[in-house]
Amino acid sequence: VRPLPPKATHQQTKTYNQQLVLKAIFDHGQISRAEVARMTELTRVTVSEIVADLLKKGLVAEVGRGPSAGGKSPILLSVVEDAYHLIGVDLANDEFRGAVVNLRGDLVHSLSLPLLNQGEAALEQVYELVDALIARTAQPLLGIGIGTPGLLDTDRGIIRQAVNLGWKDLPLGSLLQARFHLPVYLANDSQVTALAEQIFGAGKGELNLVVVKVGRGIGAGIVLNGQLHQGDGFGAGEIGHIAIDPAGEPCRCGNNGCVETVASTRAIARRARALAGAHPESLLNRLAPDPAMLTIEEVLQAYAAGDSLARQVALEAGRALGFAIATLVSVLNAHRILLVGSVTRFGQPWLEAVCAEVRRCSLAVLAQETEIDFGDLGANAVILGASALLLTRELGLSLMR
């Protein structure tokens, strides 16, 4: 529940109290009105009024009686998990994925559509996916949560730039709102992944957490004091575009030598293509009919087979990422950093290269106290994080399990 501003209006106070009550019931599974009043420090009258309203909305149900503390045994309340469903969408992959999600964060139905297009046509595919998901549930819908690549304005629901999808200044939030008549929340895929890992995954319960997503693009999601930190322009965590080599490869952002040009899947494949010819002994030359056609998949395959060139390329990429993470360690001093995304398939040796570079590029004490590890939510992280964003903003629920 977001803190109340100092001069709250009557309506703000009412909403705030309602969120406190709902969160108390949500967090405790089953709880009596008296216990809710004790936990929230609201009066019993206020709690009873709010509960009556939640019962009417169907968000809460009376589910039996608890042990008596002397007098009458109290009626227990519980959140109705399927009272509302929501739509969680992940636009950050080679396919658009989405799910119908319940109030506990369970994926009730999942769907995916291969991403065939860019620009206006990709937008049509988003509509198609959401249409198909809405058709899968008969429950009232709370809203739509979206994790998307690129730089966006979360408050206004605008995608300022998503290069992969060919979107620029796209008001995706209002377009979806107008079409589906539902609240829509969107955030960058790395940012919602951080939220998901903090609520459901390897960073569960951490107050401060950094999750770095390393795939086609590279970005970090930052949770500070339990809240997603997006920065003044929502761009906090764009570490993929820290330039580390002014004479380096051109980046899709327009600059040269960004971390992304060295540490992303595309960069790794490009580097393997560039070096394979000069290393005829490398397995890379036998995995593709032409070294110019090598993809990240062949590099991973050669790496798994112990090919030294593939290993060299992967570890170089790990070190470049480690440099960027060292800056995060120095600025934020978060004790836990999780790595997610397709490049993490290079596993432990790659992780060790990342960690060694973090140690080399930051204060020894800070680096020692920092635990860098893999996240553990896999393919559903963005959907779960987008759903969590919606639940937090719409109901004040933290989804803490």
Q: Please give the single-letter amino acid code of residue 395.
A: L
* Other CB atoms within 10 A of residue 114 CB: 9
265-276 and 308-332 helices cross at what angle (nearest 10)? 150
Question: 188, 148 in Cβ contact below 8 A?
Answer: yes
Least separation in angstroms between CB 166 and Zn ion: 17
Cα–Cα distance between 317 and 353 in angstroms, integer?
A: 9
Q: Which C-beta is closer to Zn ion: that of 270 or that of 311?
A: 270
Cα–Cα distance between 32 and 78 in angstroms, integer?
A: 9
Residue 241 touches Zn ion, criterion: CB under 5 A: yes
Q: Which C-beta is closer to Zn ion: that of 151 or that of 386?
A: 151
- To the nearest 5 percent, what fractions of the chain are helix, strand and coil? 45, 20, 30
SS (H, E, C) 171-198: CHHHHHHHHHCCCEEEEEHHHHHHHHHH
Least separation in angstroms between CB 245 and Zn ion: 11
Residue 100 touches Zn ion, criterion: CB under 5 A: no
Q: Which C-beta is closer to Zn ion: that of 39 or that of 253?
A: 253
Least separation in angstroms between CB 253 and Zn ion: 3
Residue 251 touches Zn ion, criterion: CB under 5 A: yes
- Span near Zn ion by CB under 5 A; candidates 52-60, 249-257, 307-315, 359-367: 249-257
Least separation in angstroms between CB 130 and Zn ion: 31
Least separation in angstroms between CB 92 and Zn ion: 17
Residue 262 touches Zn ion, criterion: CB under 5 A: no
Residue in 36, 50, 258, 390 binding Zn ion, rule: CB under 5 A = 258
Cα–Cα distance between 115 and 229 in angstroms, integer?
A: 30
Q: Please give the single-letter amino acid code of residue 171.
A: P
**Cα 5 from chain centroid (whole Å):** 27
Q: Which C-beta is closer to Zn ion: that of 118 or that of 255?
A: 255
- Span near Zn ion by CB under 5 A; candidates 41-49, 258-266, 291-299, 318-326: 258-266
Q: Which C-beta is closer to Zn ion: that of 97 or that of 241?
A: 241
Least separation in angstroms between CB 206 and Zn ion: 29
Which parts of this chain interact with Zn ion (CB under 5 A)? 241, 251, 253, 255, 258
